[in-house]
Amino acid sequence: MAGPKTFYLTTPIYYVNDVPHIGHAYTTLACDVLARFKRLDGFDVKFLTGTDEHGQKVEKSAEKAGIAPQTFTDRVSQNFRDLVSLMNYSNDDFIRTTEPRHVASVQALWKVLEERGEIYLGAYAGWYSVRDEAFYGEDELTTTPTGKKIAPTGAECEWVEEPSYFFRLSAWQDRLIAFYEANPDFIAPASKRNEVMAFVKSGLKDLSVSRTTFKWGIPVPGNDAHIMYVWLDALANYITAVGYPNTAEGSEYAQRWPADLHMVGKDILRFHAVYWPAFLMAADLAPPKRVFAHGWWTIEGQKMSKSLGNVIAPDALVNTYGLDQTRYFLLREVPFGNDGDFSHKQMVARINGNLANDYGNLVQRVLSMIGKNCGGVVPTPGPFTEADNALLGAAHGLLDTVRAEFDAQAFHKALDALWAVIGDGNRYVDEQAPWTLKKTDPARMATVLYVLAETIRHLAILTQAVMPDASAKILDQLALGPDARGFASLGSAGALVAGTPLPTPQGVFPRFVEPTAE
């Protein structure tokens, strides 16, 4: 008998040189929502996040702080663990590249690549950005009036000459193109796929994969004068977390690899869509199934920067607007994959419009009418009319639509589909006017309120992934236990049972009121 369907998804591991900001929160949120959705849909999910802790930048930052690199990374990695609890993420593992399991995994990968002739010792001379931990060709750089070399990211580059091991990336150009063409969904969105294809077709050079000018990293097996290039080290976290190098039948690696999805910011797509599949294929390991590169956030129309003082800490958002409100806004406001702008005005419009006026109002008025007019129990429905069946049909049809959008990482479209039914529900209340039916046709009123309660049940089950706390409160008010909240309970099979006592309704989405100056 086959086991449960598995789903393995990852965030990038975050570089421990800074405190988490809205961008970090966004990437992990997208993975959290997908992980929660897949669990509700019957999958055995592994959701990985963590921190990338090696490299010259970390060594310099630790030195500046006057502490050892390990002490520095212990402190800064904790900031990302704190983000997990702040944002209510449901990750199953948190990996740090300083952990023994990771050192063993990367060194094992290195040995395989070396044994297969994919790595050789040479010397490197070229432009390197400490900030990006990346090498750049002369043709990629711009020169300032003072003669400084600047990378496309805006980072300053320095000339580096040192002995180095190289990975034979140039030998993988044609095989990578063939892989992309055979797997058109490997890179998303499509615009990013085109960028990667163009980059690879323009020619690949062998990649320097070791450094000797600093020490904070994983030693190269058999030559500890060298430490591994931080990106070979970092990318391997995804296989470390499923137990590599143990690839035996029945191992976690055998059950979960290749990963179903790597979620990344668009700035690190090249590492994940070019270097990583090449490293894996060179080691005779399967590449991941999909890499999705999302966009960046600006703040009130401006690029986030420390100098402008407009970097938004996730805790400021949660403390100001609420946790589920923040989660909802980040995934609804922008087509996922595009750049987005955070503005207070838009956030308030989403909270007061979509959440309070639309969803919250539907739930509150329906459950209040049931409490007031049906003795606080699930009403007994009579025969359904065409209007009843239309609304119930829309609610029953949501799962297929939402699942397809989630599988494409089109979170905004999934939420649009849910809110279309919320809109249908509100219009149905107005058209059916149960407050009038109370006087003229109480049996019909009971049917209308039952149809609405069933619609709300579907909405609350399907919004759990995005707004777990708020959805749980709604499901509590429908007296649904933990075993009645998965997607297997959707449709008529899990329908509300007439006569079930319901608790006193409570508001779920308060309106945002601007604080007044004292």
Which DSSP category does 397 fall into?
T
Report the half-sphere exposure of 506 (CA within 13 A, side-chain side): 10
pLDDT value of residue 336:
86
The pair of three-digit structure tokens given for residue 131, joined into one six-digit string: 């900030």
pLDDT band at 106 (very low <50, low <70, confident <90, very high): very high
- Looking at the DSSP bridge assignments, the partners of residue 128 are 135, 158
Q: Which of 446, 471, 450 is nearest to 459 (CA)?
A: 471
Please give, one letter per residue, the 3-state secondary structure of 48-113.
EEEEECCCHHHHHHHHHHCCCHHHHHHHHHHHHHHHHHHCCCCCCEEEECCCHHHHHHHHHHHHHH
pLDDT at 2: 55
What is the distance between the alpha carbons of residues 373 and 391, in angstroms, rounded to a whole number? 22
Tokens encoding 88: 């209510």
> 3-state DSSP: the chain helix, strand, coil percent, rounded to 5?
50, 15, 35
Q: Element (H or E) spanning 302, and its range?
A: strand 302-303
Token digits of residue 494: 């899990």
φ, ψ of residue 144 in degrees (nearest 5): -80, 165
Overall residue count recorded for the chain in this entry: 518
Closest CA to 379 of 476, 481, 451: 451
CATH topology of domain 344-494: Isoleucyl-tRNA Synthetase; Domain 1 (1.10.730)
Write the pLDDT tens digit of every residue in 429-466.
999 999 999 999 999 999 999 999 999 999 999 999 99
* Euclidean distance between CA atoms 58 and 62, whole angstroms: 6
% the chain with pLDDT above 90: 85
Q: Please provide the average confidence, as pLDDT, over all residues in the chain.
A: 94
- Give bridge partners of residue 95 from the DSSP assignment: 50
d(CA 19, CA 217): 21
1 pLDDT higher than 50: no
| Per-residue pLDDT tens over the stretch 48-84 | 999 999 998 899 999 999 999 999 999 999 999 999 9
Task: Quote the percentage of the chain above a pLDDT of 70.
Answer: 98
In 3-state terms, what secondary structure has residue 151? coil
Adjacent-strand bridge partners of 5:
none
- Residue 474 has φ and ψ, to the nearest 5°, of -65, -45
d(CA 24, CA 6): 25
**Of 80-84, 298-302, 407-411, 511-515, the least confident:** 298-302
Task: Please state whether the peptide bond connecting residue 277 to the residue before it is cis, i.e. omega within 30 degrees of 0.
Answer: no
Write the burial class of residue 214 (CB in 10 Å: 0-12 exposed, 13-18 middle, 19+ buried).
Answer: middle
Cα Rg, the chain, nearest whole Å = 26
Question: Taking residues 185-201, what's their average pLDDT?
Answer: 96
Token duo for residue 136: 């750049």
C-alpha 489: how far from its chain's center? 26
At 349 the three-state DSSP class reads helix
pLDDT at residue 469, rounded to an integer: 98
pLDDT tens digits, 237-256: 999 999 999 999 999 999 99
Using CB atoms within 10 A of its CB, is residue 446 exposed (0-12), middle (13-18) or buried (19+)? Answer: buried
